[in-house]
Amino acid sequence: MEKSTALGTNRTGIDMSPVDVKKMLALTNVTPPSSNGDERAIAEMRSRHIADASVIGSVPPPGSLKGVASTAMQKLTGKNPEAFIDKLGCRLAFERAGVRLYDALIVKASSIPGAPSEIPLDTLRKFRNEELRHFRLLEGAIRSIGADPTTQTPSADVDGMASLGLMQVLTDPRTSLSHCLEAILIAELADNDAWQLLIQLAAKMGMDDMARDFETALQEEDVHLAHIRQWFKESVLDDAAVAA
């Protein structure tokens, strides 16, 4: 695998200019903070905003109940279908993002000269297509309970925000394949955990068929996670020139 780390003139550390250390520390004595206070002020301000804030989003009620199998709605009666729809929508958004992450990883792996043969592009394409299949599986699941799969649910919104950095790592031309594998590993770890939770949730909502379908997706996610974890480990050990 290509080297991820290289020696160079990184100037961010203090040791790059020992003669200036004294001067820099002296400066801190003559330039006190421009305002009084400590971290308590920002904590108080955040707290005030939290108290004033409304929710980050909402889940629309299932739009058309007429075409929905009444058995599905019966199973959800007395429970909170909106909490379930929120998490289904979240998984759907994450799987769609997963397709895009793998698209970017495939470009990275195929653009690096002498890309490692231990990461076959065919396997990456297979994982990418499985993410897309999971997206479609969720789309069908959401429709089956009369909800709208095009809705950005609150959890989908939050998840999207939390994973913004992953896409930035994957699409930065300067990142190595190893950096990208680490970003995908973060996504796969979160994905794997979220599928397990969704299966539990579906079963508790009485959606046994759905839970069974989701189990198949989780089995594929297990394979993704195992491969990405192994490739990332090998890339790090390789980079350090130590044997796996």
The residue count for binding Fe ion (CB under 5 A) is 6
Alpha-carbon distances of 67 from 72, 77, 141, 147, rounded to whole Å: 11, 17, 14, 11
To Fe ion, the closest distance from the beta carbon of 150 in angstroms equals: 19
Select from 224, 228, 235, 238 the one that contacts Fe ion (CB under 5 A).
224
Is residue 134 classed exposed, middle or buried when 0-12, 13-18 and 19+ CB atoms within 10 A define those classes?
Answer: buried
In the shown chain, the binding pattern of residues 4 to 23 toward Fe ion, with x for contact by CB under 5 A and - for none, equals --------------------
- Does 62 bind Fe ion (CB under 5 A)? Our answer is no
Our CB check for Fe ion shows the closer of 179 and 224 to be 224
Whole-number minimum distance, CB 95 to Fe ion, in Å? 5
| Between 131 and 238, CB nearer to Fe ion | 131
DSSP 24-44: HHHHHHHS--SS---HHHHHH
CB of 137 to Fe ion, least distance (A): 10
Whether the Cβ atoms of residue 189 and residue 225 lie closer than 8 Å to each other: yes
Binding site for Fe ion (CB under 5 A): 95, 98, 131, 191, 221, 224
